[in-house]
Amino acid sequence: MLWPLFFLLVPQISVGNPVVNFQEDLLFQPLASLPAANATESFWIDTPGANVLANEGSQGPLTEDADICIIGSGMTGISAAYHLAQAVETINLKESHLQVKVVVLEAREFCSGATGRNGGHLTPYSFFNYREYEGKYGSIEALKSLQLENRTAMAMVSVIEKYTLNDIVDLVAGGHVSLISSEKEYMQLRAEYLAAHRAGLNVGEVEWLKKEDVEVMYGASYPAVKFPAFNFWPLKFVTQLYLLANSSSPQFSLTLHTHTPVTSVAPLESSRIWSVNTARGSVKCSQVLHATNGYASHLLPQFSGKNGIIPTRGQIVAVRADAAVSESWKASWGGLDHYWFPRPMNGSDSGLEVEKEQHVDHPLVLLGGGRHIGGPAFEQFETDDSVVNTALGEELRGFLPETFPSMFKKGQTPEMEWTGIMGYTTMSDPFVGPVVEDMKAEAETGLYAGQYISAGYSGHGMPRAFSCAEAVADMIIAAIQDKPWSPLQWLPERYLTTNRSQKKN
């Protein structure tokens, strides 16, 4: 039974029964398409100067041979390249002979999938959903699930701080404020918090705010809970990861080809066992990583349908605040089936259609969510991000003026509006590991030996993808060295593809 997936876009616990169970009744659940050629313009991608690698490697000859081919240049694909580079450097400090050649293939511009089209949040879920995890998977898996998110966020922040990238990626450590819609939700969140705390989870500094306090501090008439979190410019972070990986070691070669959609992956009878095929030619390689998230089933049909990865369209608007905001308001936000945050005024958005001097303390706010307006399918099985949903756009336009009436003007036209494709699973957890032949309980990997996947983050990829990419990079390095892979203690066991089945995935 499938939970209403729009709940999972923001830090909100799953309560009650599913609103819909439409997937059970769908007779036709198509394979994902390739990404649309003419996607809507995203703030992250289309702000002038933001995407310096946009068309890298799109002209000239295609790389014909590599040890590893990564399909997708978003957070997962480039994080994997970064972790591979780090691993090669570490190994060569001891053995000094491992050389690895990696090629990254991207269907459109660099980082133009979900990572370049999301809400800009880096929000580990602190204690949210702990009791659900514990009830389904036991206390150890429940702890791993939430610890992984904190591990991921802090590892990313560590990279940012190590290489002094704070200003480049517009990192803001303002925490996350989640508005609470009802007394019932408040009590359930308190129960989640207490259960996680009793289990020994480090939930960080959690602050419970009364409705009256929220009204005074923030201007909304709801109680709230605040916990540690960040926001940033995801595409710029991924860009820096690529540049770091590309300059890491002479023993590690990294090449990027944008505007090069992969049409198929076929076996070879040679030392390179896979041919990754594109309209520009083919790349022969030994290992393939599918970092394609919502588009995964285009190349891997076994990941189609409700038991695989469901492509799901999300929508974002960029709205200018109509009043100055306090320093405390400059956090990331969630709750009420939405998520939003104000761009830092000293960041890289010096105005889109409004002159800079007109919005001195009036930040641009990026808002998403509300997919329940998109109809009974919640925008699922959608791969077209070249269009927006008009009804959902109207709902987004009305949300901030209704929630913060003193700060946002009704009827204001967004400065930008765009869509992006996420990948959901029925467990809300990603598939990480070797590509399996099917979704049966005893899944085999033989026909796909040498292929890996990390995808299906269910709208919550930023605090998980960097670590999941590290896990598959670790598997690939083990395979290259012809060594057995040892499971990583911090990775939830249920994420592994070989542990998933039709009943659990």
pLDDT at 11 (0 to 100): 35
pLDDT at 486 (0 to 100): 96
Q: What Cα–Cα distance (Å) separates residue 17 from each residue in 2, 381, 385, 389, 428?
A: 10, 22, 30, 26, 16
Cα 56 to Cα 35: distance, rounded to the nearest angstrom:
18
Contact 342, 321 (CB under 8 A): yes
Cα 221 to Cα 256: distance, rounded to the nearest angstrom:
49
Handedness of CA 485, 487, 488, 493 (dihedral sign): positive
pLDDT at 361 (0 to 100): 78
Q: Which of 351, 337, 317, 23 is CA-nearest to residue 180?
A: 337
- Written in H, E and C, the secondary structure of 306-339 is CCCCEEEEEEEEEEECCCCCCHHHCCEEEECCEE
* DSSP conformation letters of 445-480: -GGGTTEEEEE--TT--TTTHHHHHHHHHHHHHHHH
pLDDT at 358 (0 to 100): 55
Q: Other C-beta atoms within 10 Å of 61: how many?
A: 9
pLDDT at 97 (0 to 100): 84
| pTM attached to this predicted model | 0.93
Q: Which of 156, 74, 82 is CA-nearest to residue 116?
A: 74
Cα 196 to Cα 186: distance, rounded to the nearest angstrom:
15
Q: For residue 255, what are the β-bridge partners?
A: 103
Contact 252, 89 (CB under 8 A): yes
Contact 69, 289 (CB under 8 A): yes
Residues (pLDDT < 70) of the chain are 1-28, 347-360, 440-445, 501-505
pLDDT at 330 (0 to 100): 86
Q: Which of 294, 371, 397, 333 is CA-nearest to residue 7?
A: 371
Cα 420 to Cα 33: distance, rounded to the nearest angstrom:
14
Cα 311 to Cα 455: distance, rounded to the nearest angstrom:
11
pLDDT at 276 (0 to 100): 98
Cα 400 to Cα 369: distance, rounded to the nearest angstrom:
12
Burial 267-299 (b: 16+ CB within 10 A, else e): eeeeebbbbbebebebbbbbbbbbbbbbbbbbb
188 burial via Cβ count (<10 Å: 0-12, 13-18, 19+): middle
pLDDT at 345 (0 to 100): 79
- Written in H, E and C, the secondary structure of 249-308 is CCCEEEEEECCCCEEEEEECCCCCCEEEEECCEEEEEEEEEECCHHHHHHCCHHHCCCCC
Q: Which of 404, 394, 385, 1 is CA-nearest to residue 179?
A: 404
- Could you give the angle at which helices 465-480 and 139-162 cross, rounded to 10 degrees? 90
Q: For residue 339, what are the β-bridge partners?
A: 334, 368
Q: Which of 232, 242, 231 is CA-nearest to residue 79?
A: 242
CA 281 to chain centre: 29
Cα 492 to Cα 144: distance, rounded to the nearest angstrom:
6
Cα 285 to Cα 100: distance, rounded to the nearest angstrom:
11
